[in-house]
Chains A and B, each alone.
Chain A
Amino acid sequence: MHNFDFVKPGTVADAAAALQGDEAQPLGGGQTLIPTMKQRLAAPETLVSLIGIAEMQGVCKTDAGELSIGGATTHATVEAEAASLFPGLAGLAGRIGDPAVRNRGTIGGSLANNDPAACYPAAALATGATIRTDKREIAADDYFQGMFTTALDEGEIIVEVRMPIPEKSNYQKFLQPASRFALTGVFVAKYADGVRVAVTGASEEGVFRWTEAEQALGSNFAADAISGLSVSADGMINDLHGTPEYRAHLVKVLTGRAVMAAA
């Protein structure tokens, strides 16, 4: 790993100022960025740790019925604090990586990285979350822009993620057991005015919504409702763990399981 200056500001404003410097990069829990830097695939000159910013910590329910999650909240904290408010999200958080990774990794870090097989992007897209940064608010539908690509500008900080709490939800993750990422994962969220289905781990374009399933489940929230649908293998990821056809098949199977398990 190349050397860098390390700073740990206590406020979003100080962090934003520190990120104005050349080659400065934000650091969440570091569970992806530190390994990436060890491989010299990233070499920031300044690393700005966000973990000490109090206003970016914790989980609470807003008056508008949304779950507000600070950008620097760890997966373990989301698992514990969202358990009664939004069990579908707590279940997702509790299956990311392993316990030690969940004690460090953060929701903001996961969403900023937008790994095509990460879990949180599926929850953010399926809930129609709002990503609040130090500069603006971004709707999840506009936020994810392809593999490892987001609407964030250089140095922009995810301060808070707000997710409308569904009536029912569930995340089904078909585990890639070596990486512990999703070989394919599906988040289903049922609201009074419709259903949203988001798929991670499958597409070369990263997380996406399966709108046909959303329409079918919107009129009949049952696994049978999608039995007549099929998912195209075009554009699905092809690697030694699974073919595009296999992943396309998993999307449908996991969606059905998520509907049956939704609580």
Chain B
Amino acid sequence: MVSVSMNVNGKPASGEVEGRTLLSAFLRENLKLTGTHIGCDTSQCGACVVHVDGKAVKACTMLAAEADGSEVKTIEGMANADGSLGVVQQAFQDHHGLQCGFCTPGMVMSAAALLSENPNPSEAEIREYLEGNLCRCTGYHNIVKAIMAAAGQDVSKIAAE
């Protein structure tokens, strides 16, 4: 067993895990933060994307032990302090950027990582950044639109689909 401790959404978290425990499993099973979804468990789909030290990573393809000492942010840490939705979350709601919602935690975390690197991305840059996030419902159109809106861009001319 390995002792791990990290900051998750600004709060200290620690536990005893097996070497093979994935970060996704540690978050969901030890910390009960089930907002991080496990879609494929093969690093294809991106539903498990979280931020580790500010960088988007696939939590199903990182060991909990590798995150020891890190700052981790999950979808549960994306709301504002008063509990209202964060900018990216609100934009997903406003622009219907989700249907079943399964991929949404990963989409929101990837979108937030993109906007921190590139505050005003083009549509093409958004689509390229979401290469590793799969959505089987929306066809991506409204996800991209939501992210453009979260960046402060005028999306009123973009047709709803």
Interfacial residues, chain A to chain B (CB-CB below 8 A): 1-6, 8, 27, 30-31, 34-35, 37-38, 47, 49, 51, 76, 97-101, 103-104, 180
Contacts and interface: CB of A to CB of B under 8 A. Distances in A.
Interface stretch (B27-35, B55-63, B135-143, B145-153): B55-63
B15 interface: no
Q: Give the size range of B's interface with the partner.
A: 20 to 34
Best-surrounded residue of A6, A8, A38, A47 (most CB of chain B within 10 A): A6
Contact of A8 (B55, B62, B65): B65
A103 B41 CA distance: 18
B95 to A, nearest CB: 22
Contact of B62 (A3, A34, A37, A99): A34
B110 to A, nearest CB: 7
B46 interface: yes
A31 B60 CA distance: 10
A103 B131 CA distance: 14
Interface in B39-97: 41-43, 46, 49, 52, 55-58, 61-63, 65-66, 68
Nearest to A45: B19
A42 to B, nearest CB: 12
B41 A38 contact: yes
B61 A30 contact: yes
Contact of A99 (B2, B42, B52, B113): B113
B56 A49 contact: no
Q: Nearest 3 A-B pairs (CB), nearest first?
A: A98-B132, A6-B19, A98-B131
7 contacts: A6-B2, A6-B65, A27-B66, A38-B42, A99-B114, A104-B58, A180-B131
Nearest to B41: A38
Contacts of B132: 97-101
A4 B19 contact: yes
